Amino acid sequence: MSAGPGVGEDLLRDLAPQVLARLVRTYGTGQFDVCEDAVQDALLAAYRQWPAEPPADPLAWLVTTARRRYVDRVRADSRRRDREAREALLAEPLGGSPAGPETAGSPADDSLLLLQLCCHPALPRTAQVALTLRAVAGLSTAQIANVQQLPEATVAQRITRAKRRLAELGGDLPRPRDAAERLGPVLDVLYAMLTEAHHTTSGTPARDTDLAAEAIHLARLLHQALPSDPEVAGLLALMLLTESRGPARQAADGALVPLDEQDRTRWDQALVREGIRLVEATVPGAAPGPYLLQACVAALHAEAPDTASTDWSEILALYGVLEVVTGRQNPTITLNRIVAEAQVHGDGAALDSLAGLERVHPGLPRLHAVRAHLLARAGRKSEAADAYRRAARATRNLAERQYLQGRLRAL
């Protein structure tokens, strides 16, 4: 029986979290490292074998192969002091039943469960998010560092410490009582996936459509489980409205197109309508949370036919509330507020605010790009050119660097 045309890299990416979840449930968080390596082995085997011999049941094939690789790794790991404990786990899995053939289950439940399992309550929230982005979303250390605006070494240490802590916990695998448990870090993970999908670390490609689709898929599942939670609804709406702009974000030659230059008739109107409906249904009576507030900003952009007719005063007010809600701890929010401030109070006021932000956060991504844009609008071309050069040197994103260099040439 052929697996059909859907068997490929996209399917492997979709199935990987489900396979990892099943191994972790079977062998425990103490074996997380080994389970993760075994899943990677299975994915590599699938990549090599499936083109010639596609399986009838891809998920069962991957789970079976990953379990075999797990057994191989445990038996070969004679240098680890807990080798005997691992051998015992092979014979007595956590569930009390042998690791036999794959049984029917819900892939959706597996994906959400793995998100919660990696957000282990014994780990600090920063480690929960970093580990989950690595294990569930499959992001590299460099990508996680880019999303969190941290040095790669810091992120690598967090992941290593998190795995070590899970190993110290042995076979203890506390299940979440419901979908609301560990919700904060789960939302942070989904938001980080959205950020990387629409502003990739390398810029090649400029937009990761597969990662965006997976983030939206998981957010939909979470919203189905918690339909009355305003932050869950807000994050889903934000994802839908952000994704709706995808068709207009790149020109025919692949160059980035900023929001104020996009052809809004190319936006996905079905996603726009769904996102706006979700915001309108959620806002009445809801406490202002960071994800719902950002969704409100995105909805105002989506409702406007162009930049000039956008309700910038309302957007500026929303960013002011968002700064308060987040304790003024997120400089990117402040940067976005300054962009709105330029539209309401003029470029001069915004440039003054930008100078104050730079004194506190001199290495903030996009700061030089925003300054260059404001200086160019103010007619200060020489200063704008210098700011564009600094912005291009500071970004590692190829697509963004090419855009900034194009703006520099246009001056």
pLDDT of 102 above 70: no
Separation in Å, CA 102 to CA 53, 59, 106, 294: 20, 9, 12, 41
Residues 6+ apart with CB under 8 A from 275: 237, 238, 240, 241, 244, 295, 298, 299, 302
DSSP 3: -
State the pTM of this model: 0.79
Average pLDDT on 219-239 reads 96
Return the amino acid letter for 62: L
CA–CA distance, 391 with 411 (Å, rounded to integer) = 15
Give 154's Cβ-side CA count (13 Å radius). 10
* Helix 290-303 and helix 269-282, axial crossing angle in degrees, nearest 10: 130
Q: Is the pLDDT of residue 100 over 60?
A: no
Whether 109 has a pLDDT exceeding 70, the answer reads: no
Q: For residues 377 and 347, is the Cβ–Cβ distance under 8 A? A: yes
Q: pLDDT tens digits for 56-79?
A: 888 889 999 999 888 888 777 644
Residue 239 has a pLDDT of 98
Q: pLDDT above 90 covers what percent of the chain?
A: 55
The whole-number pLDDT of residue 30 equals 67
SS3 content of the chain, % helix, strand, coil (to 5): 70, 0, 30
CB 110 within 8 A of CB 18: yes
- For all residues of the chain together, what is the average pLDDT? 86
Please check the confidence at residue 22 and state whether its pLDDT lies above 50: yes
Tokens of 278: 């979700």
DSSP 40-77: HHHHHHHHHHTTTS--SSHHHHHHHHHHHHHHHHHHH-
Q: Is 207 or 291 the better-scoring residue by pLDDT? A: 291
Residues 188, 193, 196, 199, Cα dihedral to 10°: -90
